[in-house]
Chains A and B, each alone.
Chain A
Amino acid sequence: MLRNGCLAILMLTLGLPFGVAQGQMLDARRLGMGGVVTSDVGDYTGSNIAFRAVPKGTGGSGSIPLPLGLIQYLADHPTFDSKDSTFNIYEVANVLLNPPLTIKLWQPSEVTGDISIFVAQDSLKVDLADVKRVIPKDSMKQGGVFHVGGFSKSFGKVFLAMSPLIHVKNELTLSDNLRDALRDAVPFTGNTRYGLKDEARAQAAISFQVGYALRALYRPSPDEGQNADPRRNGSTSLYLGAAPKYLLGLAYGDAHSIAGATTGDTLFAGSNPVTIDMDTQTRHAVVGGDGGMGSGLGSDVGAVLYWRNFELGLGLNDFGSQIRWSTTVRRHAYDDSTNQFTTTEVASGERFVSRIPVTTTVNVAKRIGRTTIAADVVNGDFRTSMHAGAEFWFGMLALRSGLSRDQNKMAQFAGGAGYRLGKIGIDLAIATNSRNIERERGAELSASLSLY
């Protein structure tokens, strides 16, 4: 029983950050520029729907990742067998946080080392040693909005799209006392509550979208000539895009939990030295089950302005997106006196509206000849990241560099090169990141093909 509980806690605690894996960039051109997005670098249309209307320029129109990291992974990967003496759940979590699609040049040292616990009748001290690295100073926040796969088809300025949408978020907060005890090896004391709070939410839907993107303003430049690329022809152009979406809700669930253990006068005196409190309220609806499917509306909107080869873009994804559900609400409480959980149905068929958080992307770029200098700020659920980068072309060779501030508020650095062969180019990038359970800096080598 305890063993199952341990594994469940392990997976819950370490599995939650998996959503952060979305930070992994497989486009080596974009990665080499610090992960910056512009209308011709990065995900092109995913960040700003107005980019769809901008004519294809010389900067590229797409990329094909080369997952060289799989070779490295096949040659050397952690064991998934918990019975194996080398099994390390932190290494496994890092594989999921960092799918082995890029070559890992260096990674934080693995979490290892002995853990010491001192127990006396009125004293408990836990020294986690190296494991302290995985316990954050603040609450653990993970999540994001994921548009997984799907397809779209353009008909001139109009496009149709359908894609699965998944939104997950979790925030786990340790009480100051518990955090100090685990992070700083502060001894547990009597008459103290060691608690934690967790706020979790997940929802899945299918998005059906009809969009329209157009050039709303155009003032030609005297230097424009035959160059139709507004990024480099000096014209003043404004592109707008909007795509309302219908959201077919497949499942929704949230849980608000608090739990704690309050010590008595003496830590290990008597048969019941601590008082446990646990209280969770859940709300859920699922297609084919309680509440059935949900439905809602949302939109993606965007705009991008070009002026004298300067680009300023604003994209809002999932703007105003929300889904209506018929939910079942339950409360699960632990009774310390009886040592039992009781589950109470608080409501059935209760109307509930969930929100899909907005992802806002603001980007700026300046093209000078064949050189691009760019920066962006991306604000989403729980995270704000900033990127800046530059690309310099020398004939068929491109050199790139960039830096970013990632979701762990750490500065990251990148550099790369590319070589263009007609309509296709090959790109390599080396970049640092903190996509690991230790939230420490590592570095990766990414390779991809660019389509021009």
Chain B
Amino acid sequence: MRRLIPIALLLPLLVGCGNRNLILTIDILSFMDPGSRTVNYGPIPPTPSDTVEVFSDSLNLLQGISDVTRVMSASLDVAASFDNASGAATGEVLIYFAAADSTNPFTTTPIASIPFQLLAGQITNVSTHIEASPALAEVLTHDRAKVGLRIIFNGTSFPILGVETLTKLTATVIMKKDL
């Protein structure tokens, strides 16, 4: 990541002057392994609750941003699609962000929780916008971060079987100069 310094240098040069914001939009999904965006779940047997950990990944972010900028706010847009073959359930998608030195992102408090309801043979799309998350802002201005996605199923009809695809994971960080 040291080699991103020239790009990072441009940012304070351009934004570090004047009372203006740097709006940094990061398509986190594009940094993830394509294979980890999709997970087959099930068959989930009749149990009160089941948890599927979709992925836990480490991201390279823009080095040096935190040196010269001060985060004002951060938001996150998340979308996922469930192609549910059988069964029915309610549940929630949980998004976790953690510092790179953390061993497991799932030990932190989830940044986002998206409720869903699945029916057999139906495709269900869910999405949410998380506004002004200080934890997200803190994580995204470091060199690296860890991200995790967990799905909790509360089944009502079994077996639950299908494919979950993460379709959008975009963070928007608004920063001000700090020269």
Contacts and interface: CB of A to CB of B under 8 A. Distances in A.
A87 B19 CA distance: 7
Nearest to A92: B17
Nearest to B10: A126
A15 interface: no
A117 B8 CA distance: 11
A5 B14 CA distance: 13
Contact of A261 (B6, B20, B21): B6
A410 to B, nearest CB: 24
B27 A123 contact: yes
Interface residues of A, number: 47
B65 to A, nearest CB: 9
A116 interface: yes
Interface in A117-152: 117-124, 126, 128, 131
Nearest to B8: A2
A117 B23 contact: yes
A2 B15 contact: no
Contacts of B26: 119-120
A274 interface: yes
Interface stretch (A17-25, A106-114, A387-395, A426-434): A106-114
Contact of B15 (A1, A3, A115, A122): A115
Nearest to B24: A117
Nearest to A259: B6
A85 B13 contact: no
Contact of A120 (B30, B62, B176): B30
Contact of A274 (B3, B13, B24): B3
Interface string A1-45: 111011101100100000000000000000000000000000000
B14 A85 contact: no
Question: A interface, by DSSP: helix, strand, loop or mixed?
Answer: mixed
Contacts of B5: 2
A119 B22 contact: no
B108 to A, nearest CB: 23
Contact of A117 (B1, B13, B22): B22
A154 interface: no
A90 B19 contact: no
A118 B18 contact: no
A257 B78 CA distance: 45
A128 B24 CA distance: 12
Contact of B16 (A10, A116, A123, A336): A10
B110 to A, nearest CB: 23
Interface string A213-242: 000000000000000000000000000000
B17 A87 contact: yes
Nearest to A339: B2
A159 interface: no
A258 interface: no
Contacts of B60: 268, 271
B25 A116 contact: yes
A276 interface: yes
Given A10-B17, A119-B25, A123-B30, A2 B3 contact: no
B13 A9 contact: yes
A10 B18 contact: no
A121 B33 CA distance: 11
B30 A2 contact: no
A82 interface: yes
B67 interface: yes
Interface in A261-291: 261, 268, 271-276
B123 interface: no
Interface in A77-109: 82, 85-91
Interface string B60-76: 10101001100000000
A312 to B, nearest CB: 48
A273 B3 contact: yes
B19 A3 contact: no
Contact of A6 (B16, B19, B21, B30): B16
B30 A276 contact: no
B17 A90 contact: yes
A273 B68 contact: no
16 contacts: A2-B5, A3-B179, A6-B13, A111-B18, A112-B20, A114-B20, A115-B22, A115-B23, A116-B23, A117-B23, A121-B27, A268-B4, A268-B60, A274-B4, A274-B6, A339-B2
Interface of B: 1-27, 30-31, 60, 62, 64, 67-68, 176, 179
Interface of A: 1-3, 5-7, 9-10, 13, 82, 85-91, 110-124, 126, 128, 131, 182, 194, 261, 268, 271-276, 336, 339
